Amino acid sequence: MNSINHKLLFGLKKFAAAAVALSLLLTQTGCAGKQFSYAFDVNNPKNAFRFENHNSTAVAPAFASDLAVVDSDALTGEEIDSGADSYASAVLFSVNDAETVYSRNAFATLYPASMTKVMTAMVAMEEGDPDRILTFTDACVVTEEGAQKIDLNPGDTMTLDQALHILLLYSANDVANLIAVGLEGSLEGFCEKMNKKALELGATNTHFTNPNGLHDENHYTCAYDMYLMFNEAIKNEEFKQIISMMDYSTSYKDADGNPKDFKCETTNRYLKGQVNAPTNVTVVGGKTGTTLAAGACLVLLSRSASGKQYISCVMKGDNIDVTYGKTNALLELIDGY
């Protein structure tokens, strides 16, 4: 980023932060009669801040003093735009330095699939006591065929802590609903809190309609927003501890109080030893997401040999091998950065 852009970003920081906090739709008329519009647009590739001046348009990138900024694509090497072995978006950020290492289509509006559960967990950890008992009801039932579930039945109970482990490691969609309904009384009410939290973090290209990530046309995000949300989530040590686990065993109860044993492995191929990270890079953990519409997605926390943390995100990989392959290509950039 050149020095002019750097000064512009910090000069606009306080103004943009206030705009996010006030509303998604805020209009202000300047002294010269020019109108500046900060309107959310799902098709806007540069987040939600666009400054229009007659026939010319300038874009204000997303920014904050302790976050990496993307004002243009920072590409390395050959890229595949479409077709087999393609992906839609990929980013890599240095957490410690708040710098962008790599960015491709960072603001493209895409479906997050089960990466949604990063926000579900974040809101749940802020709202609920880990020992709180959650009860599965008819409102929690997932009817979509083929959806990842542990087949909870009405009356089954578990603690929020148990639910969070199963949510983040096994990516169970019925457990996501259990958390939402158990904490907020309804899926809709919980999603309101998810969307509110997203806005607080500046994730203005994001909208959630459910806590699990099952496909909905109005449920979307972008790679930069996933960075913002994941960057906030990893500040919670419990979240980091859970996503770093390889497996989890527990016992919850059915409606009659009888124990129901459950054991699962993480969906993360790095932690399962199915994919090897580049030398001198340690994968801490992350969240996968896969649907037909979303493709294969992965948001990941990694650590360099010097101890620096990095967040990567690849969205809409043509298949899971493409997504992990692109992720490895990103992680290779860490060495020497």
Active site residues: 114, 117, 171
Q: Tokens for 75?
A: 């590409």
Return the structure tokens found at 125.
């950890």
Q: How far is 225 from 232, CA to CA, in rounded Å?
A: 11
Pairing of strands 89-94, 99-104: antiparallel
SS3 225: helix
Residue pair 169/267 in contact (Cβ under 8 Å)? The answer is: yes
Alpha-carbon Rg of the chain, whole angstroms? 20
> Number of C-alpha atoms within 13 angstroms, CB side, residue 135?
8
Give the H/E segment covering residue 288: strand 281-291
Residue 8 identity:
L
Cα angle: 138, vertex 177, 242; to 5 degrees: 145
How far is it, in rounded angstroms, from Cα 59 to Cα 105? Answer: 15
Distance from C-alpha of 21 to C-alpha of 231, rounded to nearest angstrom: 19
Handedness of CA 195, 197, 200, 202 (dihedral sign): negative
Rounded to whole angstroms, the Cα distance separating 103 from 74 reads 5
